[in-house]
Chain A
Amino acid sequence: MKEISSAIQIIPLDSYIMLSVALFSIGLMGVLFRRNIIAVLMCLELMFNSANLLLTAFSSYHSDPAGQVFVFFIMIVAAAEVAVGLSIVVMMKRNVESVDINLLNRLKW
């Protein structure tokens, strides 16, 4: 644990923040603009993982384990969420034979 923590601290904190923000933005753009549902799900995961990376970096810089424990919770919840998401995609695929997000337009005002 000590070695990992010091290994993380070789890179300055600013770089971690930059990387996480970049990952988060890539994920955000992907969710907004990709048309394939599977790609959208992957981008959502990317957004979760950017938060994980940030938490881990902060946690070792503060030498406070709570942040890394939280990362485990996030990973478990993200896994559960993606399981549900993929099953919803399967359910949709059975009905319309496609995973294009543009098909989701039956409900509108």
Chain B
Amino acid sequence: MSALIFTTVLGIILLYLGLTKNKTILSPVAITGLLITLILSLKDWGLDSKYFHDMIIFDNFSIAFNVSMIIITIIIFLFGIDYYQRMELHVAEQYALMIFALTGAFLMTSFSNLIMLFLGIEILSIPLYILAGGKKASFRSNEASFKYFMLGSFATAFFLFGIALVYGASATFYLPEIKIYLAQFHGNLPPMVMIGLLFIVIGVAFKVAVAPFHFWSPDVYEGAPTLVTAFMATVVKTAGFAAFYRLLCMGLLPLPVPLEKALWVMTGLSLLIGNLAALRQTNFKRLFAYSAIAHSGFIMLAMLSQHDTSASVLLYYTFVYSLATVPLFIIFILVKRASNGLETLYIFQGLYKKKPWIAVFTTILLVSLAGIPPTAGFMAKYQVFVLSISQGYLAISIFAILMAVVGVYYYFFVVREIYTESDHLHPIVVSKLNAGIIILCGIAVVVLGIFVWKLPI
């Protein structure tokens, strides 16, 4: 709880620091603040503290996810020192909005009441609508912002209507009480509740960009400023899936049959569309949007194989995925700078010649995303498959494994570009700090893959 309050205050402090027109102090303040938040969250470990008439419960699940999101945000801010140094205006607002979005993410991991879930989703989304439109003069950024806003609100409307229907039947917003209410029907839910639950799930699925509710994500990822894209692909995804899992686990298990079928269809479609559409992408950000959709499919697989270890696998997967994605976006920004703002995959050509060490670590990160041992990405996928096969979902697991093999192709397309010769000779400038972040993340991915197969939850 103190972490939640502290991030809110931190955001406001950053807004006021923006008045001093001194850009250099923003990043250190934000990072120090996040480190304090990290310690404050860890202090609640194991306490299961409840607030606001049990509307928020900070249990180990939420703390573990909060800590993972704070770590990823710190990495993004560390890079922000360099990235926002080049921006002229409104740097403080960018930091503050990301911190506010993080506050929403904290609510999304710790709700036990649908009101709090709604507020969490909105506190996360509204700053992101603004952040996506960060480049005001660029029409692509405007378009991304508006598409995100419109489809986000559209999903929220569905979500709210679903909540209203469920509330009408069960007369409560508390998930544990909804669970008791649903249990009395033994699977034969009245149509109103069924439609309500379906609408709620559609609303959350829109937010995490699971196919077939993914249309917005490639456009938004492409148009938004790259660092915001990195934030959306990692922190927002993690928060969304934590909320999704918590919703299913606290309120809806055992899943009603039509809902379960719908969720399995979403899983299959995410795996299929994400991986196949990624094959034909030439824009790096779009490639990563589809790769994010594909990874959503694997995460859904872990989530739907209901078992005690699902939460731990979910945490491991999202953390490892974020840890590999953020530095790749950082490398992309640096390479993009050297090639006059082009965003195709070909700009990676000759990276090995210019910066051999960065190229090697980029390869490690890509290999982790593709899921090849000995990296953490492999362990994450392996655990998902073990979990789903042990729960008896054999057919979809085999399909997922096949799709993971397809995924290797498009990640290695980037790897191939890195090691090809190129004729354009713009130097790529990598500051010591940025190189440090990339190398640390690369090492962390390997170390996690070899030694740590389970994160405590």
Contact = CB atoms under 8 A, between A and B. Distances in A.
Interface of A: 17, 20, 24, 27, 31, 37, 40, 44, 47-48, 50-51, 54-55, 58-59, 62, 64, 66-67, 69-70, 73-74, 77, 80-81, 84-85, 88-89, 91-92, 95-96, 104, 106-109
Interface in B128-183: 129-130, 133, 136-137, 139-140, 142-147, 149-150, 153-154, 156-157, 160-161, 163-165, 167-168, 171-173
B223 interface: yes
B133 A88 contact: yes
Contact of B149 (A58, A84, A106, A109): A84
Interface of B: 115, 118-119, 122, 126, 129-130, 133, 136-137, 139-140, 142-147, 149-150, 153-154, 156-157, 160-161, 163-165, 167-168, 171-173, 218-219, 222-223, 277, 280-281, 286
A55 B163 CA distance: 9
Nearest to A85: B149
B168 A54 contact: yes
Given A48-B156, A69-B115, A88-B146, 4 more contacts: A31-B150, A81-B149, A88-B129, A88-B133
Contacts of B142: 88, 91-92, 95
B171 A73 contact: no
A51 B157 contact: yes
Contact of B115 (A50, A70, A89): A70
A102 B149 CA distance: 16
Contacts of B157: 24, 27, 44, 47-48, 51
A20 B136 CA distance: 37
Contacts of A40: 150
B133 A55 contact: no
A86 B136 CA distance: 14
Contacts of A88: 129, 133, 142, 145-146, 149
Contact of B161 (A51, A69, A77, A91): A51
Given A54-B161, A81-B126, A107-B222, A95 B150 contact: no
Contacts of A96: 139
A51 B219 contact: no
17 contacts: A20-B161, A44-B157, A51-B163, A58-B168, A58-B171, A62-B171, A66-B115, A66-B172, A67-B167, A73-B118, A80-B126, A81-B153, A84-B126, A88-B133, A88-B145, A92-B143, A109-B280
A86 to B, nearest CB: 10
A62 B171 CA distance: 6
B139 A77 contact: no
Nearest to B151: A31
Nearest to A61: B168
Contacts of A80: 122, 126
A22 to B, nearest CB: 12
B43 to A, nearest CB: 29
A66 B170 CA distance: 12
Contacts of B136: 91
Contact of A70 (B139, B165, B173, B223): B173
Contacts of A47: 154, 157, 160-161
Contacts of B219: 107-108
Contacts of A104: 143, 146-147
Q: What 9 A-B pairs come out closest when comparing CB atoms?
A: A47-B157, A51-B160, A58-B168, A54-B164, A107-B219, A62-B171, A92-B142, A77-B122, A51-B161
Contacts of A44: 150, 153-154, 157
A109 B149 CA distance: 20
A78 to B, nearest CB: 8
Contacts of B171: 58, 62, 64
Given A31-B154, A44-B154, A44-B157, A54 B147 contact: no
A95 B222 CA distance: 19
B242 to A, nearest CB: 21
B63 to A, nearest CB: 25
B291 to A, nearest CB: 14
